[in-house]
Amino acid sequence: MTLLLLNALVWHILLGTIALVAIASLSLLLRGEVLNIKWLKIYSFVGFLAFLGSWISGGYYYATYYGKAVKPIILATSTPWIHTILMETKEHIFLFLPFLSFVALIIVNLFPKEIESNGKLKQSLILLSFLIVTLGIVITLAGISISGSVTKKF
Amino acid sequence: MNARIKLAESIIFSAIALVIYIATITIAADLLPALKESLKNTFSHHWIGKSLTSAALFVGLSLVLLLIPFKPNPQRITRLLWILIALTILSTLVILGFFSLEALLK
């Protein structure tokens, strides 16, 4: 693996984790009675930007290296389903995350006062951010399984 | 206020269309090798093709909806968010179910 690919993989993981922490923070902050609008805006912006970066860096690694070098190793192990189910699902549901976090960013920035006064809007935004975090955790766990599958002895 | 509501509605509606599109293109490209090959030939990799067409659909549809005249409705924002959440969960389960079934049948 070249240094560029290694960096792409590391940034994919790092930015994905930063995005998860930011959206989880957004979700927790939204649960408060009095909302800190400034931090809601910061967390939603960081979450969106980090997902975007993770998408680009992970996409570069996946499209140029994974299929040629990693996928054949996983398919040759006793657990090929780690690619055929986990990786296939991960690479596609990841595509939801930058767009869902963009929706959260837009709502927070367009309706900061309404989020505080409109309970239904606030609840739906909490659920949206919770969904982003849940999908992010599932994707992270799939990523850990994929990495583990490549490095395990078989 | 109306402009903000219209912008939000356009973006959430585009996100709903995007979620449906991603689930559809994922399954269709796997079932139709010609589609997967066409994405690969056009964008160098099928996943890059799915990523770029998704982004184009989202941006394009958002702009079209912003230009189309319709009456913004603040109550619709919450409804659209719930639809987006439900369809994201459904699409995730459909994609997972599809690849699980495919792996089992191979």
Q: What pLDDT, on a 0 to 100 scale, did the predictor assign at position A154? A: 45
Residues 38-77 of B with CB under 8 A from A: 44-45, 47-48, 50-51, 54, 58, 74, 77
Q: Which residues from B are below 8 Å from A127, CB to CB? A: 81-82, 85
The structural domain count of chain B equals 1
Q: Which residues from A are below 8 Å from B47, CB to CB? A: 59, 62-63, 91
* 8 A C-beta contact, residue A136 and residue A17: no
Instruction: State the Cα–Cα distance between residues A12 and A15, nearest whole angstrom.
Output: 5
CA atoms within 13 A on the CB side of A48: 16
Q: What pLDDT, on a 0 to 100 scale, did the predictor assign at position A42? A: 98
Instruction: State the Cα–Cα distance between residues A133 and A27, nearest whole angstrom.
Output: 9
Task: Tell me the per-residue pLDDT of B19-38, one tens digit each, with 9 for 90 and over.
Answer: 999 999 999 999 999 999 99
| Structural domain of A135 | 3-151
Task: Tell me the per-residue pLDDT of A16-30, one tens digit each, with 9 for 90 and over.
Answer: 999 999 999 999 999
| Structural domain of B44 | 2-105
B48 sits in which H/E element: helix B46-67
Beta-carbon contacts below 8 Å between A and B: 94
Indicate whether this complex's ipTM tops 0.90.
yes
Q: What pLDDT, on a 0 to 100 scale, did the predictor assign at position B40? A: 95
User: What does the pLDDT average to over B7-26?
Assistant: 98
Task: Tell me the per-residue pLDDT of A94-150, one tens digit each, with 9 for 90 and over.
Answer: 999 999 999 999 999 999 999 999 999 999 999 999 999 999 999 999 999 999 988
